[in-house]
Chain A
């Protein structure tokens, strides 16, 4: 029985359900060093694998000599493409419909490419082995600049498909062309531009960067020859998808493959795809009969697995003279590197980039994306982003500022003038999406009032005047961004990965004593699912969150799910949890009716029990219903209390937010200081405000890194210039700004609990906000668009080019 002495509020508080700042379950083990990450695993007889990698960006592989390597004590095998060909695994499919070399087959296409896999008794011997493998290369001309990729005489990156006129996403125009993707109405858009009072056009580049999770990609593969079963412990954001991919490419029956994602040290999209290390470790285990561990080091991580962005967006807006937008035209040159290994839903070669109309009511728009190959690492992953949404948000938020500048309108006013209005939702965008809900004006105005926007602009005007009088060398920038995300991929009608619809799942089993377990198709990498998923269940069925254990990451026990990335866990799996819980609640109501000897319709739900309407003293708590389900179920009803839900979302969700940044920059050195950063997020219903704020802090910090310096940079011969944490900007506590968070709540109308997802919003909205602040700082000196990343040197260079420094 529930405790009748408690008030309603006390009973609710005891549940620690939705809306509560519940402390995290995970932290008990993590704060004691008792997490269980892949590299912590040590199996008897386990071997270690390591890669020989290419020092060249483009070269023919003339020979690979393993003789000396095999003489090294502890080195057991050297696997090359020739070895892999015997099992038909020299190449593997990518999630984007392309194929990728597992090990260099005839030539290398980027610096750091996997050439041979050395297997040894420990990681030191494996390292000795890779240094002793002799590879002879013949250098080839290198293609680094995406803008030169489709020149007639451009080097052929992909000899395997150079004569193929058709790719995974339609016709190919050139030997380095991957795909062309077109959305929108060209004629109507051209007509809008023809009639426009004013237009702007700007090439806006989003540079190449990298998720750089603190834990790199890694796995342990163990093949049991007797049972014919393969077990892989790995850093997988999507374990079930990995199981299916392994089954398809290794031709192993899917029931004999066991994928386990233990604790993961950050994902950010880095750990969605399949990498050569996984394939090589699996093959090595099959060949040697022993478990094989592969752990990527930091340089390998930055050089070879999963870059993000490298989008060059030629953006045009048409508008009336009073600043109302009338058309948007964008052409994207998308650099995919040597293989198209981006991890988008299969039918979306440029992800959901067609969210590029943003938060604005564009009557017409037209978008064309050309994907190209270059001699750079493959990828194009969604780094804390729902499939190219960060690129789209950066593109439109920068462009709106450029338009505002051209018309002499305040950037915030420009946005307010063009927002989709609250009464227009559900809103059909010109590029084909149905935005579920939003209240943009309210959010923007709240942000402006909180930061005292008008006062900031007045201060800026004073400072600019002082600068012009030569009284100060400090300039002030105010960055505004208002983003609309599209997350929760996604509805089976338009989202799949390799043919598998992008539903997600939850199985809840309640035990006789009023406790239970929830098993999920998702996989947390720090988002705190073990904490928040239990909160949803607590609110739905009145069992305290502390009594619910959440399990993820074991494909043998969890229902099939598509995993955690693209802010999809709450929109899709969060819904599956609610639906599974509601199935349980429906059965619980039948049990309660039987025990209380009333009709089901005579019962009402209250926090943690079913009560007989009008007879408040007659009730049965959920805890007692659990016992009854196993002890005395109603006649004709199966015992037990469990349910599973596979949730196919009817639509995406559309979180949004208003961000404002104030930045001071020393004109002579380019040194900036973020004085203030305010982030208002609307992610619909808030499950755990503490975790939401934590996600926003983290996402803003990644956005700060990307906008202000974090880059994977190549020289003209294809050398990676930023291959370690010495060169690749990772902000420390010292340079990371203080974050102010705020919120409005506009629930999603189609989601069972109204939640929209939040993990990626701060990265999506943060990058343009920082970049707009820098551009705004230099605008009065004549700058229109300064390319990211805005490090000190580039800031100084911008000032120099504007003639503001000597």
Chain B
């Protein structure tokens, strides 16, 4: 009990940059991102995989970074919210959609919600409302009641697809 845990070298690509670190095998990926790499946009809301505030994109999948170890992500390609803006620094379609449709309030779930929506639109570029609602059901929001998050994703889908966004009537 009194001996420190042996550390392991990990390396991965995060937001396009190669990063590495010497970590305890028990270190969660979310703590590696937030504390070792100072990428604090990824949040922790429950530590039990329920809330999705810690969602990142890992090798083309949505992953809740609070329940995988950094060592499990060794060699992977990760995108966090910090890697989501356009190359020129402007807001991406999803980020813009969340702002235009008032899809966030306290902002705590937003990074995870945007990361999940990003993957959802890759998997299904033109989702129905029901598909969106099901697709983001691993991410909890306490403030918005989801209605405007759905609109934000529809806004982004339209913008990405180059189609016209029609805001649904209340």
Contacts and interface: CB of A to CB of B under 8 A. Distances in A.
Interface string B127-170: 00000111011111111111111100000000000000000001
B140 A33 contact: no
Given A725-B50, A738-B147, A214 B170 contact: no
A342 to B, nearest CB: 21
Given A733-B133, A739-B147, A698 B107 contact: no
A724 B46 contact: yes
Contacts of A698: 105, 142-145
B99 interface: yes
B14 interface: no
Interface in B85-107: 85, 91, 95-96, 98-100, 102, 104-107
B107 A35 contact: yes
A529 B31 CA distance: 31
Contact of A215 (B3, B31, B105, B106): B106
A88 to B, nearest CB: 34
Nearest to B106: A526
A724 B67 CA distance: 15
Contacts of B108: 35, 37, 213-215, 265-266
A165 interface: no
A547 interface: no
Contact of A736 (B31, B47, B146): B146
A266 B106 CA distance: 5
Contact of B99 (A28, A123, A132, A216): A28
Nearest to A703: B145
Contacts of A42: 35, 38
Interface in A574-631: none
Contacts of B1: 68, 71-72, 128, 132
Nearest to A73: B4
B47 A30 contact: no
Nearest to B133: A733
Interface string A7-32: 00000000000000001101111111
Contact of B45 (A35, A215, A690): A215
- Of the listed residues B34, B35, B43, the one surrounded by the most CB atoms of chain A closer than 10 A to its CB is B43
Interface in B25-65: 26-27, 31, 34-35, 38-48, 50-51, 53
A464 B4 CA distance: 69
B38 A34 contact: no
Given A697-B147, A697-B148, A30 B104 contact: yes
B interface SS class? loop
Contact of A71 (B2, B53, B141, B149): B2
A263 B2 contact: no
B138 to A, nearest CB: 8
A79 interface: no
A297 interface: yes
B145 A40 contact: no
B30 to A, nearest CB: 11
A565 to B, nearest CB: 14
A27 to B, nearest CB: 4
Nearest to B152: A31
B142 to A, nearest CB: 5
B145 A700 contact: yes
Nearest to A74: B4
Contacts of B100: 23
A527 interface: yes
B99 A27 contact: yes
A739 B151 CA distance: 13
B47 A297 contact: yes
A702 interface: yes
Interface string A713-750: 00000000000111000101110101111000000000
B43 A37 contact: yes
A127 to B, nearest CB: 10
Interface residues of B, number: 64
Given A31-B104, A725-B140, A733 B35 contact: no
A27 B104 contact: yes
A interface SS class? loop
Contact of B107 (A23, A73, A263): A263
A124 interface: yes
Contacts of B123: none
Contact of B142 (A34, A212, A691): A212
Interface string A105-128: 000000000000000000110001
Nearest to A384: B142
A725 B46 contact: yes
A74 to B, nearest CB: 8
A132 B1 CA distance: 9
B27 A215 contact: no
Contacts of A263: 106-107
Nearest to A524: B106
Nearest to B80: A33
A754 B10 CA distance: 59
B59 to A, nearest CB: 20
A128 B140 CA distance: 29
A39 interface: yes
A124 B48 contact: no
Nearest to A29: B107
B140 A124 contact: no
B42 A33 contact: yes
A10 to B, nearest CB: 22
B82 A32 contact: yes
Contacts of B134: 733-734
B78 interface: no
- Of the listed residues A132, A263, A701, A702, the one surrounded by the most CB atoms of chain B closer than 10 A to its CB is A701
A634 interface: no
A654 interface: no
Contacts of A204: none
Contact of B91 (A32, A37, A526, A702): A32
A214 B102 contact: no
Contacts of A37: 40, 43, 108
Contacts of B27: 124
Contacts of A128: 1
B158 to A, nearest CB: 18
A439 interface: no
Contact of B44 (A39, A74, A267, A699): A39
Contact of A734 (B26, B85, B133): B133
A724 B48 contact: yes
B160 to A, nearest CB: 16
Nearest to A688: B102
Contact of B53 (A31, A214, A699, A741): A214
Contacts of A693: 102, 170
A734 B137 contact: yes
A264 interface: yes
Contact of B141 (A68, A214, A525, A528): A214
B77 interface: no
A234 B157 CA distance: 37
Contact of A691 (B38, B102, B139, B145): B102
Contacts of B150: 733
Interface string A320-363: 00000000000000000000000000000000000000000000
B71 interface: no
B41 A701 contact: no
Interface in A33-88: 33-35, 37, 39-40, 42, 68, 71-74
A298 interface: yes
Interface of A: 23-24, 26-35, 37, 39-40, 42, 68, 71-74, 123-124, 128, 132, 212-216, 263-268, 297-298, 525-528, 690-691, 693-695, 697-702, 724-726, 730, 732-734, 736, 738-741
Complex A-B, nearest 5 residue pairs according to Cβ-Cβ distance, in ascending order: A33-B41, A526-B106, A265-B108, A30-B107, A33-B81
Given A42-B35, A526-B106, 6 more contacts: A33-B42, A214-B141, A215-B45, A526-B105, A697-B147, A740-B170
14 contacts: A31-B95, A39-B40, A71-B1, A72-B1, A124-B26, A212-B142, A213-B108, A214-B45, A698-B144, A725-B50, A730-B142, A732-B133, A732-B137, A733-B149
